[in-house]
Structure 1
Amino acid sequence: MLQQYSFDFSWLPGALPIFMQAAFLTIQILVWSAVISLAIGLVTGQLLTSTRGWLRVPARVYVDFFRLTPLLFQIVVVFFLIPIAFDVTLSAFTSGVIALSLNYGAFFAEVFRAGVQSIDKGQWEASQAMGIPRLRTLRRIIYPQAIRRMLPPIGSMLISLTKDTSLISVIGVAELFNTAQNVGAGTFRQIEVLLLVSLFYLVLNLPLALNTERLNRKLNLA
């Protein structure tokens, strides 16, 4: 069947500017969501390790909810529910970034929690014996060691985040996948359009994967 298919990319020059705009929008979504979700994960990860229940329990509820419910459901809920519940106006772009950030923030929280708890407790006890404050212990002693163990899962999560930006096409954001659907419907060349989109995602993710691996090797050799 594929041998009988005739590939046609004659539509590409006219559609390429649209795809470049969509790629730029996808990068914006990725950057905003990555920065916000990492910040959420860093804070929530520390709350998960707290001995105070009033801090740990709400953090655990948040993490479990966003880890155990579908991301697509969360995107739709944020897009429709937040404007109704809080009487605010949110663009589809902002709603998508919020949903992605909350979802990946929950996963990053577990990464940070596991990384911190993987460090030998003796280092905590030694810091306490020397009178070093907890935050300084985290910043100067724990995280420099834990980051080496956290880097591979963080890199993998960022790659997954890049791919999951396609899910916010469901609320009308004109990122790569949404644009591919529109161009494919207009040109009737769905296969060629999907091949082009896969190339865009590969171009976005390959440098991220390579740099993560390079940094991982550098940190583990240091």
Structure 2
Amino acid sequence: MSYEFDFAWVPDTLPVFARAAALTVQILLWAAILSMVIGLITGQMLMSRHAWLRVPARVYVDFFRLTPVLFQIVAVFFLLPMLFAVQVPAFTSGVIALSLNYGAFFSEIFRAGVLSLDRGQWEAADAMGMTRLQTLRRVIYPQAIRRMLPPIGSMLIGLTKDTSLVSVIGVADLFNTAQTVGARTFRQIEVLLFISLFYLVINLPLAAYAERLNRRHNIHV
């Protein structure tokens, strides 16, 4: 007997999924901004001449890159209240964990982008009397950012998909809502297919933009 798809439940649950999609986008935006800030700072620390900056940054990056993000989400959710005696909402815990995880990956992207430029750029800026910060802001990053944009786009696509992992700590995102609706309607397959459309709506523009940037970079190279 073949399976019969039934999407009759969709109109009644649209408001619920709309709220879940809005929450997912909020998680994505917060985590994207925070992780890139973390990545920018940590990337600079990784390139520092000072071991007291470089070593802690390397420990952080290796830990968050080499352990599962799901473990990190659960650990942050349960450890923060234990360590600091404060109740942290599940939404905040999810954003913190995703930001720390993706910040580790962004730090390597920023580091690689800076190191990909010729050393002569630094020497020329130094000859002009620029400080290291001025060199980074006026010379290095304006050039390196073009090389960083394609991998940054790919990372944001991955981040969008990984927002679904916060459902494990009870955040009512798309995936968590899909599980609830699927259990109520007994239409788990249809519900999962339905929420995949939301992820596609978010990720398709990101993927197209990342591909466009990649083509432009390859042409210039």
Using the size of structure 1 for normalisation, the TM-score is 0.95
- Shift of residue 53, structure 1, vs aligned partner: 0.6
- Shift of residue 135, structure 1, vs aligned partner: 1.0
Q: Tell me, yes or no, if structure 1 residue 206 matches structure 2 residue 204.
A: yes
2:174 to 155, 160, 176: 176
- Shift of residue 212, structure 1, vs aligned partner: 2.9
The separation in 1 between residues aligned to 2:95 and 2:194, in whole angstroms, is: 24
Gaps of 5+ in 2: none
The separation in 1 between residues aligned to 2:25 and 2:180, in whole angstroms, is: 19
Q: Deviations over 1:95-147 (max 9, x none)?
A: 00000000000000000001101111111111112211111111111111111
Q: How many residues align?
A: 220
- Shift of residue 214, structure 1, vs aligned partner: 3.4
Moved over 2 A (4+): 211-222
1:116 to 96, 106, 114: 114
Conserved? CA contact 2:147–2:217, under 8 Å = no
- Shift of residue 87, structure 1, vs aligned partner: 1.1
After TM superposition, list the pairs within 5 Å mapping 1:16-165 onto structure 2. Answer: 16-165=14-163
Using the size of structure 2 for normalisation, the TM-score is 0.96
Conserved? CA contact 1:148–1:220, under 8 Å = no
Conserved? CA contact 1:108–1:154, under 8 Å = yes
Return the letter of the residue paired with 1:107. Answer: F
Return the letter of the residue paired with 2:145. Answer: I
Residue range with higher mean Cα deviation, 163-172 or 140-149: 140-149
Conserved? CA contact 2:76–2:97, under 8 Å = yes
The separation in 2 between residues aligned to 1:179 and 1:66, in whole angstroms, is: 28
- Shift of residue 45, structure 1, vs aligned partner: 0.3
- Shift of residue 60, structure 1, vs aligned partner: 0.5
**CA RMSD of the aligned region, Å?**
1.4
Gaps of 5+ in 1: none
Instruction: Look up the SS of the partner of 2:158 in the other structure.
Output: helix
The separation in 1 between residues aligned to 2:212 and 2:83, in whole angstroms, is: 45
2:9 to 8, 11, 14: 11
Q: Deviations over 1:187-222 (max 9, x none)?
A: 011111011011110001011122233345567778
- Shift of residue 82, structure 1, vs aligned partner: 0.7
